[in-house]
Amino acid sequence: DTKIIKVDRCNPQKEKIREAARYLIQGEVVAFPTETVYGLGANALDPKAVKKIFAAKGRPADNPLIVHISEPEAIKYLAGRFPDSTWPLIKQFWPGPLTIILPKKEIVPMEVTAGLDTVALRMPAHPVALELIREAGFPVAAPSANLSGRPSPTAAEHVIRDLAGKIPVILDGGQTEVGLESTVIDLTGRVPVILRPGGVTYEELKSILGEVDIDPGLLPEKYVPRAPGMKYTHYSPRAAVILVGGSIEKIRQVVQAIAKREIARGKRVGIMATEQTLHCYSAGEIISVGDRDNPSTIASNLFAVIREFDDRGVDVIVAEGIDEKGIGLAVMNRLKKASGFNIVDADAYLESGE
């Protein structure tokens, strides 16, 4: 049985945090909220505890975990060789949705890094997560607290859905804010490389670093996975996803056309609309994922909406694309992956008269 401990997000009750930390200290796993998504944590320095994370999630052992810390100084005993870019990044973005990859020290077990000689480090900006790590007294390794292959959980209910009965305890701190996972940036080369777009944007990183690359693996045409986890189809809903890109007027027409086509084929169709387009559609199950003028709302709702369509049992989700600037890059990255790169260009679709 899984115990659910409700905790106040802003002022986490000491005794509740202590209760959850006791599980970690005893070598158990604990699901807990962060500002991005819920994590499934264990003592990062205890290989046996870390193995329980992989078992509960059904996660492949070759996909390394992020080590969560409660103070920036902790990187000094977990990692070595810090490039100059480390300090300004940490100063600007920690605590927050940025994970940095550095050469690891001996103390980090290979179960955490999947045999790599580098380690992923993050100080989350969530009072519950920070208090939990402090109370435990060691760094906490944690992937997202979903079953492998499911969208990351942005509410305790999602964790319950995926992992109830498989883990001893869930700290319920309500909904997460960012809604997408942290940005992962590799600092081990000459130029920092974004391996996964997330809560901290490319534009923000560039303004601090000057020079920053985006892993070419993030472009569908050259889809060569580099972060070990990127080869797995994360965020995949049960339904097939068709992602429609292009100019907004055309996206609207094409989403409606594809929805009708799929319905005619006998499919149950969900349309992932936005505030701006919600009223335009007249077929299928229509849900607004957020406001195009405020794309962080789309990031925040994305995984919950995908789960909602799955719960409603739709066969096909037709999703509107958004601009790939700011947080839009991370949103589109998750949508592209969810679609298995089944992306329709609205302009080309209309020209071909399909």
Interacting residue ranges for ligand TXA, rule: CB under 6 A: 34, 36-37, 39, 63-66, 97, 99, 101, 113, 116, 118-120, 122, 124, 142-144, 181-182, 184, 195-196, 227-230
Q: Compute the least distance from the CB of residue 320 to ligand TXA, in Å.
A: 24
Measure Cα distances from 147 to 96, 110, 163, 263, 323 in Å: 24, 22, 7, 30, 29
Q: Compute the least distance from the CB of residue 338 to ligand TXA, in Å.
A: 15
And the tokens for 344?
């329709």
* Per CB under 5 A, 176 contacts Mg ion: no
Residues shown for the chain: 354
Q: Which residue number, 144 or 300, has a Cβ lying nearer to Mg ion? A: 144
Which residues, 6 or more positions from 346, have their beta carbon under 8 angstroms from its beta carbon?
244, 245, 246, 247, 250, 251, 253, 254
Among Mg ion, ligand TXA, none, partner that 255 touches (CB below 5 to 8 angstroms by kind): none
Name the residue number minimizing CB distance to ligand TXA. 229
**36 labeled binding residue:** yes
Distance of alpha carbon 35 from alpha carbon 197, whole angstroms: 16
Among 70, 85, 86, 144, binds Mg ion (CB under 5 A): 144
Which residues, 6 or more positions from 81, have their beta carbon under 8 angstroms from its beta carbon?
102, 103
* Per CB under 5 A, 182 contacts Mg ion: no
Which helix (H) or strand (E) segment holds residue 332: the answer is: helix 328-338
* Per CB under 5 A, 333 contacts Mg ion: no
Q: Compute the least distance from the CB of residue 39 to ligand TXA, in Å.
A: 3
Strands 169-172 and 30-32: parallel
Distance of alpha carbon 309 from alpha carbon 108, whole angstroms: 39
**59 labeled binding residue:** yes
Q: Compute the least distance from the CB of residue 191 to ligand TXA, in Å.
A: 16
HEC states along 123-135? Answer: CCCCHHHHHHHHH
Among Mg ion, ligand TXA, none, partner that 195 touches (CB below 5 to 8 angstroms by kind): ligand TXA
Distance of alpha carbon 215 from alpha carbon 25, whole angstroms: 37
Q: Compute the least distance from the CB of residue 146 to Mg ion, in Å.
A: 6
And the tokens for 155?
């509410």
Among ligand TXA, Mg ion, none, partner that 228 touches (CB below 5 to 8 angstroms by kind): ligand TXA
Q: Which residue number, 144 or 274, has a Cβ lying nearer to ligand TXA? A: 144
**86 labeled binding residue:** no
Residue 307, phi then psi, degrees to nearest 5: -65, -40
* Per CB under 5 A, 34 contacts Mg ion: no
Residue 318, phi then psi, degrees to nearest 5: -100, 120
Q: Compute the least distance from the CB of residue 112 to Mg ion, in Å.
A: 15
Q: Which residue number, 43 or 144, has a Cβ lying nearer to Mg ion? A: 144
259-266: list long-range contacts, CB under 8 Å, 24+ apart: 259/283, 259/284, 259/318, 262/315, 262/316, 262/318
Contact segment (CB under 5 A) with Mg ion among 61-69, 136-144, 249-257, 344-352 equals: 136-144
Q: Which residue number, 100 or 289, has a Cβ lying nearer to ligand TXA? A: 100
Q: Compute the least distance from the CB of residue 57 to Mg ion, in Å.
A: 8
Q: In a 10 Å sphere around its CB, with 0-12 CB exposed, 13-18 middle and 19+ buried, how is residue 105 labelled?
A: middle
**235 labeled binding residue:** yes
**122 labeled binding residue:** yes
**146 labeled binding residue:** no
In the annotated binding site for L-threonine, the residues are 36, 68, 122, 142, 182
Residues in the site for Mg ion, rule: CB under 5 A? 144
